[in-house]
Structure 1
Amino acid sequence: MPSPATEEEKISHDKNHISHYQKEASSKSLKVVLAQWAANPNFYDDMINEQSDVLGLAQAMDSRMQVMETEKVKLDAKIGGYKQLQEMCAMFDTDGDGTLDEKELNAALDLIKSLKVAQEEGNHLSKIEALKKEEKLAHLKKEEEEEERMLKHHEGIKARLEERKKKRTEMRGNLEKEAEVVQPELVTEPPKGASGKIQPTL
């Protein structure tokens, strides 16, 4: 791949080439064009071909510009990564000499290990919390199922008690009716003597 400097020179050359054709086309008067066409029947076709060539050059230049923009984005990303690395190195460059000696490098490695351990412990704690939540949810579900079973059981008892109450009410009503019919038959008048007076019973 050509260097950016070479690429810019080629783009500049293409721009100049296009500008030249544009100036040449605009400077030609209609008479000149007609005279050239009369002298050369293929002049119009040649001019169209020239314009096509210019358009092709412009499209090629646009393509190269897009490639350069893509490469620039990649280069900026690399530069950003290098800057971050430099900032990290500066954190451990305790003596400020711009380099990391063995002691400073070991300190950086220890910190990275500590961060990794902390992350793993955090993940472990997160898993434990998730398991606790699942256990609590399972316990709540079990309680709900037990309460629902108890409610159904109590509803069954309530229905049976209501049925027994209904039967007792019906039985009480029937017995009261029967008592009203039997009671007059049990009441008798005391015996009377010859004088018509009531004789005491012994």
Structure 2
Amino acid sequence: MKNIVLFGPPGAGKGTQAEVLKNKYGLIHISTGDVFRFNIKNKTDLGMLAKSYMDNGDLVPDQVTIDMLKAEVNNNPGAKGFIFDGFPRTESQAMSLDEFLKEKNTSISGMVALEVPENLLVERLLNRGKTSGRSDDQDESKIKNRFNEYESKTAVLKEYYEKQGKYYGVDGVGTISEITSKLEKVIDSL
């Protein structure tokens, strides 16, 4: 089973690349953002709670996120593996994911991080906000807050996975196909 954590700051291209990679490798793509948006659209209690955090540019609390991800994995018992997009975001989430996967007799194969300069990320997100309708992509101050959250809380994950020999940085600048090619080289080696 191949389990990939696809990592990078908001706007790095994780969702775009995950769609391509899931088809090539036959993996299930679990995007916390998609799971949250589904719940928000359907106005579930969890969705409304997640929305209150997301609207402020804050991360959703660990336990809410972990429970949602466990449910998604459990709903796909015959999967060849998973691409985790937007999760884990904290060391405690990574440890919870490791424990959960161990119970399933599997583990994370690697964390693949898309590395993109911040000025390009802001441009990408503002452009996405014009077409997506996502309020968190339309306000530069909210975008900057998401970067601050990412740097302060999620950058520690690089060290967490480096200690396990599972961290792989990939240049996230270029065309979609160029970036995909870089990612495939890493994933093929796992």
Shorter-chain TM range is under 0.3
Q: Which has the higher contact order (CA 8 A, sep 6+)?
A: 2
Bigger radius of gyration among the two: 1
Structure richer in strand, relative to its length: 2
Please give the TM-score of this superposition, normalised by the length of structure 1. 0.17
